[in-house]
Amino acid sequence: MHLTQDQVNERLKSKGFLALDVPKDLDLATEIKLLKKKKNAVLLAHYYQEAVIQELADYLGDSLYLAQAAQKVSAEIIVFSGVHFMAETAKIINPNKKVILPDLKAGCSLADSCPPSDFKKFIDQYPGAHVVTYINCSAEIKGLSTIVCTSSNAKRVIESIPEGETIIFAPDKNLGHYLIKETGRNMILWEGSCIVHEAFSFERIVNLSKTYPKAKFIAHPESESQILEIADYIGSTSGLLKFVQENSATEFIVATEAGILYEMEKRCPNKTFIPAPVEDETCACSECAYMKLNTLEKLYLCLKYETPEIKLSDSLIEKAKLPIVKMLDLG
């Protein structure tokens, strides 16, 4: 049975336990470490999680790394501190394991921008097309795909399709336009986008670059074309991390979710990282509100009660697995 987050909250409440009831003096980090050990659970976390969760992760990385990690873990329980589509991917790869997510409402605006029924009608207009989907989509969308990709391997995935074949790319139009430029392949794009990466302000980034003239401007390919055009480097979260470590510059303006700055500062303590400014000066819009739904308290409760759990039907797992495995087999 698939429970909504509200149903999960109700169940916790019926057991007399609410997130707010977590004793204030409980050392949650220690408790989480103990629970992981006791329950043979492994914690996979994305770089966009809050720092304290990143520190507890057994595997910390970008979407591709976490999907690869999910493929090799032997633990009985996977607790996924990331968003829903990431935990779903881990479940599809490990149908016999219990996969739990601290907050089932940790969704993704990009995944939401591609409803399965509309997408099915869209792809039906192009019989014989290869359907390449960015991993930021639901299991249903994956089930309609030829192959999945992440921002780390998208170029390689597109290039694995024979020249001259029709390609549909979904759901991110910004990543899609970037890949058309990079690969020279003429793809049909679904018009989805990410609210976090579309919030960056071109004018404010240009102004900030004048204040830091030596800073390199780096961006995630989910950002809009005009932002990518002025970037010194474009890459996935792990690509951006590698770039700041290897580049001789000491200042970087970073256009992706602000959680990545924690690992950048950790790996390069003598360099300066500035989050790229967003349009709305009053908003912390470069933080993904979905990712940040996973708090330390919820992570603790999730491990303690082994809920909320990702549940998918066997038939959906079967359909969605093939395009994911195809991607993972590419290396």
Which residues of the chain form contacts with ligand 13P (CB under 6 A)? 62-63, 136, 150-152, 194, 220, 222, 236-237
Least distance in Å: CB of 152 to ligand 13P?
6
Q: Which does 109 bind (CB under 5 to 8 A by kind): ligand SF4, ligand 13P, none?
A: ligand SF4
When the beta carbons of 63 and 209 are compared against ligand 13P, the nearer one is 63
> What's the rounded Cα separation, in Å, for the pair 64 and 84?
15
Minimum Å gap between C-beta 13 and ligand 13P is 31
Cβ proximity to ligand 13P, 36 vs 220, nearer residue: 220
Q: How far is the CB of 14 from ligand SF4 (least distance, A)?
A: 31
Count of positions (residues) in the chain: 331
Q: Decide whether 12 or 263 has the Cβ nearer to ligand SF4.
A: 263
| Burial label, 177 (beta-carbon count in 10 A; 0-12, 13-18, 19+) | middle
Closest CB 11 distance from ligand 13P, rounded Å: 29
What minimum distance in Å lies between the beta carbon of 109 and ligand 13P?
9
Q: 241 Cβ partners below 8 Å, 6+ apart?
A: 47, 260, 263, 264, 267
Of the candidates 119, 123, 122, the residue with the CA atom closest to the CA atom of residue 139: 119
In this complex, which beta carbon is closest to ligand 13P, that of residue 135 or of residue 312?
135
Query: Minimum CB separation from ligand 13P for residue 221, in Å?
Result: 9
With CB cut-offs between 5 and 8 Å by kind, which of ligand SF4, ligand 13P, none does residue 150 bind? ligand 13P
Which lies closer to ligand SF4 via its Cβ, residue 171 or residue 308? 171
Helices and strands, number each (H, E), in the chain: 16, 12
Nearer to ligand 13P, 88 or 222 (CB): 222
- Cβ neighbours of 148 (radius 10 Å): 29
Main-chain dihedrals φ then ψ at residue 234, nearest 5 degrees: -125, 130
Helices (H), the chain: 5-14, 28-38, 51-56, 63-72, 84-93, 109-112, 116-124, 139-143, 154-159, 173-183, 202-211, 225-229, 237-246, 260-267, 296-305, 314-329
Residue closer to ligand SF4 (CB basis): 22 or 198: 198
Q: Which does 258 bind (CB under 5 to 8 A by kind): ligand 13P, ligand SF4, none?
A: none
Nearest residue (CB) to ligand SF4, 196 versus 254: 196
Crossing angle of helices 296-305/28-38, nearest 10°?
Answer: 30
d(C-alpha 147, C-alpha 186), whole Å:
17
- Give the integer Cα–Cα distance in Å for 305 and 303: 6
Which of ligand SF4, ligand 13P, none does 99 bind, CB closer than 5 to 8 A by kind?
none
Cα(178)–Cα(162) distance, integer angstroms: 19
Say which entry of ligand 13P, ligand SF4, none residue 198 contacts (CB below 5 to 8 A, set by partner kind).
Answer: none
Closest distance to ligand 13P from the beta carbon of 243 (Å): 13
Distance, CA of 276 to CA of 104 (rounded, Å): 29
Residue 130 forms beta bridges with which residues?
Answer: 167
By beta carbon distance, the residue nearest ligand 13P is 62
**Residue 216 interacting partner from ligand 13P, ligand SF4, none (CB closer than 5 to 8 Å by kind):** none
> C-beta of 204: minimal distance to ligand 13P in Å?
20
Chain residues binding ligand SF4 by CB under 6 A are: 83, 108-110, 136, 194-197, 222, 257, 288, 290-291
Distance CA 46, CA 80 (A): 9
62 binds, among ligand SF4, ligand 13P, none (CB under 5 to 8 A by kind): ligand 13P
SS3 301: helix
